Amino acid sequence: MSSADVLHRLVGMTQALASPVEDLVILAEGNTSAAVGEGAFWVKASGCSMVGIQPSQFVLLDRDALCAAISGPTLNDGEARALLNGSRVDPECPEVPSTEALMHAWLLSLPGVGYVGHTHPTPLLGLLCVESARRWAGERLFPDEVVCCGPRSCFVDYVAPGFPLAVAIATAVTTFREDVGIVPKTLWLANHGLIALGATPEEVLSASRMTVKAARARVAALAAGEPVRALTAAEIDFIYRWPDEHFRQQRLFGR
Ligand SMILES: [Zn+2]
């Protein structure tokens, strides 16, 4: 797929995520990205609103230099900004990349990940401000949450945005892959928001929307005042490995 085609799909995904009915972002919240081949990626420009975003508000960056920086010495804000601006494929580009481009670079290097959507969904954000959020990230309440969001979410403790967040995400996802054996579809960032990963824009949209639905379901279940029954590990595993579900995932996500 050409760089222009990837950008076209990324713009559509970003506008869909930003729709007010989704309640995922307001103002300049959130950012999105998409891989172009092996070594480059498009990412939202700094300070832009995702609502009505245009192709000119994305920046094409060189991925390898940013990925390498995450495993290197700690960068302060000024050093991280210089690295981000210097990694633009077109140095004359009038836009500068989002501060979160570092985490996007690393996430897009994971197998099977072509698109990344980072949002601050209100129903999930409320749950992410509760001490039990880490435990809830490992639970699933209903089958479609397993299908769209994966068998569990990768939980990331709160750190400041920018370079510290990119390092914390790399560490948490690496541990998740060792423990669970797969790349997560969704990451829950404590006191912050959601990251959805997908091979296609449809996969990112489905994971984001279903995360919001699951968060609303959990709030409703908690409000009932009775103990919440989450799916058991065996029930989750059955859904995750069920051949019919794989067929459904292909239909849903265009994989
Ligand atoms: Zn954020």
User: Averaged over 81-109, what is the pLDDT?
Assistant: 94
- Check residues 99 and 199 and name the one with the higher pLDDT: 199
Quick one: how many helices (H) and strands (E) in the chain? 11, 7
Given a cut of 80, is residue 28 above it in pLDDT?
yes
Distance in Å, CA 59 to ligand 1 centroid: 18
Which among 202, 12, 30, 48 is positioned nearest to 125, based on CA atoms?
30
Distance in Å, CA 243 to ligand 1 centroid: 35
Could you tell me the pTM of the whole model? 0.94
Distance in Å, CA 135 to ligand 1 centroid: 21
Helix/strand/coil percentages in the chain, nearest 5? 50, 15, 35
- Check residues 141 and 38 and name the one with the higher pLDDT: 141
Given a cut of 90, is residue 249 above it in pLDDT?
no
pLDDT band at 247 (very low <50, low <70, confident <90, very high): low
Helix (H) or strand (E) holding 210: helix 201-223
Predicted pLDDT at 188: 98
- The Cα–Cα gap between 165 and 158 comes to 8
Quote the mean pLDDT of the chain.
Answer: 93
| Contacts of 152 by beta carbon, 8 Å cutoff, 6+ apart | 137, 138, 139, 140, 180, 184, 236
Distance in Å, CA 194 to ligand 1 centroid: 8
Given a cut of 90, is residue 45 above it in pLDDT?
yes
pLDDT band at 38 (very low <50, low <70, confident <90, very high): confident
Distance in Å, CA 232 to ligand 1 centroid: 31
- Residue-wise pLDDT for 172-188, tens only, equals 999 999 999 999 999 99
- Residue-wise pLDDT for 109-166, tens only, equals 999 999 999 999 999 999 999 999 999 999 999 999 999 999 999 999 999 999 999 9
Domain total of the chain? 1
Given a cut of 70, is residue 43 above it in pLDDT?
yes
User: Averaged over 4-17, what is the pLDDT?
Assistant: 97
Give the percent of the chain with pLDDT over 70. 95
pLDDT band at 216 (very low <50, low <70, confident <90, very high): very high
pLDDT band at 241 (very low <50, low <70, confident <90, very high): confident
Distance in Å, CA 235 to ligand 1 centroid: 32
User: Averaged over 4-18, what is the pLDDT?
Assistant: 97
Residue 145 belongs to domain spanning = 3-253
* CATH number of the domain where residue 103 is located: 3.40.225.10
What is the end-to-end Cα distance of the chain in Å, rounded? Answer: 14
- Residue-wise pLDDT for 61-83, tens only, equals 999 989 999 999 999 999 999 99
Distance in Å, CA 99 to ligand 1 centroid: 10
